Structure 1
Amino acid sequence: MRLPEHVREEALAYAYRIFDHRRWERVPTSERGAVFNELVADPEFGGPLHPYMTDGEIRVWLKDSVAKEYPRALEGIGGTAKFTARRYPGPSAIIHAALGVEWTVVSGTIEQKPMRCEARGPNGDSVTVFWGPLRGLRDLHWAASRARVLGTARVAIAITRPSMRPLPAGEWSDVEALCNLIGVNSYSVMYAPRTVNS
């Protein structure tokens, strides 16, 4: 059954307030199911949805739609972006941290699934940069591989992390080895959302 728009928007706003408060991007995958269960049982969230969905359907919607859209909302992309009070600093922060402050994002090249853009250097060089957290490495690697197969000369993967703490050496070695296999540069970049309104 289709949710009335006002019910859907109220549920999204409530869920994203919880995600914002918990810093969802830092919640381990193994702990996310418990958060979904709490939300389904929360009368303020589940109550308005129950006339339209079962508990199981609510949980599936949370996991496969609401939570999956949240990272894009933090990037300011998509219709759910208005429901979060947090934002990542944006592609320029990725490009400057990975390639240097003299590099710029090429207008109109920002795309998603996974996040990527083209960057241009001071000498006119261009690089397609894909970025996301370590848990998304499989998707980043696949997308970068496809770009190389399709003829993109220079490609880079930026693994984002939420703090100054570097990735564990073993994990970073794996990233570098996988990127070397397909001929792309790899970077580790601190990239954390911040509150943009109250």
Structure 2
Amino acid sequence: MSDIPETVRRTVIRDIYRKADELGWDGLSAVDRTAWYNRWVDDEKLGGVLTRYMPRDRARMWIKDVPMKHYNRARSGIGPYTDLVGTPLPSAYDIVRIAMGEDWTVLGGTLQEKPNRCQVTDGRSRMLMIWGNPRNLKSLVWAGLNARVDGLPSPVVVINLLQGERLTESERRRHQNVCELAGLDVRVITTRATRTTAADRERPTSRLPDD
């Protein structure tokens, strides 16, 4: 898989991301996604290119495990393929302003993934912001508990709904109760993907506040 020339790799990944955007990938079922993996392998401009460097079954695995494994991370401004997405999700800088206010920003060099998290500050204090969709609540809470055990800044869990997604009142109460039981602050926000240029996605970073 590593024998794919870098320019070819990036061109294929960009094309796959464009197709995923057009399909509304986040809203597809597992069955639909499987069907599209198979179609992409049969696509002359995708699988037809990849099978020059690997067998067909490995090409399908490559599509699933390389570009699509990084798809939402890349859309969130994380990982090696962030410049290849056409409809990025709100970045950490956007999330913190929406969830915590305009005075808050991301501390440079603190961004991590699995789950997405970073330290944030308003210039006076700092917190560890952990964010993701409702399906990832378990991993968000677990990361928050580990942050408390490790003595990191006070964690806040941000549940990010994409435009069109909804939580029922019972789901909201359950999420709130789970986080409160774990001793975690929780915020629920709604955002949407937007088409931007690479320059639009650049954000300033902040220094750690003086202790």
TM-score clears 0.5 = yes
Q: Normalised by the size of structure 1, how large is the TM-score?
A: 0.87
Greater fraction helix: 1
The one-character-per-residue Cα deviations of 1:25-82 (angstroms, maximum 9, x if unpaired) are 3334443212212211212211111132233212211222211111121122322122
> 1:135 is matched with which residue?
135
**1:86·1:197 contact (CA, 8 Å) conserved in 2?**
no
Map 1:56-135 to 2 at 5 A. 56-121=57-122, 124-135=124-135
Q: Residues of 2 paired with 1:67 and 1:87: CA distance? A: 14
Task: Kindly indicate whether residue 165 of structure 2 is the aligned counterpart of residue 159 of structure 1.
Answer: no
**Bigger shift: residues 20-29 or 185-194:** 20-29
Q: Residues of 2 paired with 1:33 and 1:173: CA distance? A: 34
> 1:22 is matched with which residue?
23
> 1:183 is matched with which residue?
183
Report the number of matched residues: 197
Q: Normalised by the size of structure 2, how large is the TM-score?
A: 0.82
Q: Residues of 2 paired with 1:17 and 1:56: CA distance? A: 22
Structure 1 SS opposite 2:38: helix
Structure 1 SS opposite 2:163: coil
Inter-CA distance 177–120: structure 2 relative to 1 (3 Å threshold): same
Q: Residues of 1 paired with 2:60 and 2:169: CA distance? A: 36
Shift of 1:86: 2.0
Shift of 1:176: 1.6
Shift of 1:153: 4.9
Structure 2 SS opposite 1:195: coil
Shift of 1:141: 2.0
> 2:204 is matched with which residue?
none
> 2:38 is matched with which residue?
37
Q: Percent identical across equivalent pairs? A: 30
Letter in 1 for 2:119: E
Shift of 1:24: 2.3
**2:119·2:153 contact (CA, 8 Å) conserved in 1?**
no
Q: Which runs of 5+ in 2 are unaligned?
A: 199-211
**1:106·1:119 contact (CA, 8 Å) conserved in 2?**
yes
Inter-CA distance 145–46: structure 2 relative to 1 (3 Å threshold): same
The one-character-per-residue Cα deviations of 1:91-115 (angstroms, maximum 9, x if unpaired) are 2321222222232322332222221
RMSD across aligned positions (CA) = 2.2
